[in-house]
Amino acid sequence: MTIHDYVPNIEEIIEKWNSNPMYKPRLAKVVVNISVGAAVERLGNAMRVLEELTGQKPVPRRAKRTIKDFGIRKGENIAAKVTLRREKAVEFLRKALEAVNNKIKASSFDENGNVSFGIREHILIPGVKYDPEIGVFGMDVAISIERPGYRILRRRRMRKKHLPRRHRVSREEAMVFLHKEFGVEIV
């Protein structure tokens, strides 16, 4: 299947973007998450891997509730994440997409222009070598796509309560954006 099967009106979408620069979506952020569970030593290694891959210091994430079967207690650090924006986000995303052969499932797109996919092993990312002391980690990559002007929902001063539906990024537009900007194949 090609992108034309999922989005039959690609030309109309691209024409709309070209007619008004405020309609053209952009990459807002990329969030990379590694979850390891309760192991403190493995969490340290996962944070080192994230820092190597992204060039930013990761933030530890705490468990929201206790799960006895997995040995997780509420408040315990069980994961690490990094939020990338601008050039760093684009650079990392190109590498991460290469690790999954530039293919993303259509079911990975939501209705608000967000996309998520997983990488089974971090050593699949180009330029990363296996280190037996660190081990191998899988990770989740979440991409957020938005239009210019979307900031009015998040700002503090004179907050607008409603953003029109036409100014939100749709599922189809997110597919077209990733296909056009990053050469992603939708499967």
Residue 71, number of CB atoms within 10 A of its CB? 11
145-165 mean pLDDT: 76
Backbone angles phi, psi at 147, to 5 degrees: -95, 160
What is the rounded CA–CA span in Å between residue 177 and residue 72?
A: 39
| pTM for the full predicted model | 0.82
- pLDDT of res. 14: 82
Domain locations in the chain?
Answer: 3-186
In one letter, which amino acid is 137? F
Q: Which CATH superfamily is domain 3-186 in?
A: Ribosomal protein L5 (3.30.1440.10)
How confident is the model over 66-121, as pLDDT tens digits? 777 777 777 777 888 899 998 889 998 888 888 888 888 888 888 888 999 988 88
Whether the predicted pLDDT of 134 surpasses 70? yes
- pLDDT of res. 83: 92
Whether the predicted pLDDT of 159 surpasses 70? no
Residue 131 has, within 13 A of its CA and on its CB side, a CA count of 11
Q: Cα separations (Å) of 153 from 34, 145, 146, 149? A: 29, 14, 12, 9
What is the rounded CA–CA span in Å between residue 148 and residue 175?
A: 18
Answer whether 100's CB lies under 8 Å from 174's CB: no
Whether the predicted pLDDT of 1 surpasses 70? no
